Amino acid sequence: MKSITSMMLALAAAFALAGAAQPLAAQTANPIALNGDVKAVKVITDPDGKERTELVDPTTIVPGDRLVFGTDYTNKGSEAVTNFIVTNPLPAAVRLAPDADPALEVSVDGGKTFGALAALAVTADDGTTRPATHADVTHVRWVLASIEPGGSGRLTYPAIIR
């Protein structure tokens, strides 16, 4: 079983890079503020035996556990921002969950190209190709058409610890 500490450090390091695709100068001039987090999906049984699902801060995670990665965005500027792209690399310790939105734009080639998972393929070293799977996803991306001044929202994707 992988160490929780090393996995959490890897998750935190990868998530810290989530909004850092732009050069520092572009980030400084950008009125969009991004804030990311990771939550564990926990099933809790009430005293009466009813189960409910909650998102909690991860403490101990093991392979097979579900996580939800989130990015909150806010336009702190005085003008609308159009075609804003948020790209999040998936940490190596996780894979995209099979119940992720099928319309989510993903990459299986390290963020070079994006599309719906069903439309992507992976090329093996011998040149053969196969349909891409959730385990092949390296990045997720959202293109926000317009964020009005003061506008905000939350972007999420589900993942499973490998």
Fill in the amino acid letter for 54: E
Structure tokens, 16: 């810290």
Looking at residue 107, which CATH number applies to its domain?
2.60.40
114-162 per-position pLDDT tens digit:
999 999 999 989 999 999 999 999 999 999 999 999 999 999 999 999 9
19-75 per-position pLDDT tens digit:
434 433 344 478 999 999 999 999 989 899 999 999 999 999 999 999 999 999 999
Among 72, 101, 107, smallest CA distance to 89 is for 107
pLDDT at 13: 41
pLDDT(6) > 80: no
| pLDDT band with cut points at 50, 70 and 90 for residue 17 | very low
Q: How many of the other CB atoms lie within 10 Å of CB of 97?
A: 16
Structure tokens, 25: 């100068």
d(CA 7, CA 94): 9
The burial of 159, by beta-carbon neighbours within 10 Å (0-12 exposed, 13-18 middle, 19 or more buried), is given as buried
How many domains are contained in the chain? 1
pLDDT(4) > 50: no
Q: Which domain holds residue 152?
A: 4-161
Structure tokens, 60: 């101990």
| Residue whose token pair is 């801060």 | 57
To the question of pTM greater than 0.75 for the whole model, the response is yes
Structure tokens, 104: 């989510």
The C-alpha angle with vertex 160 and arms to 126 and 14, in degrees rounded to 5, equals: 80
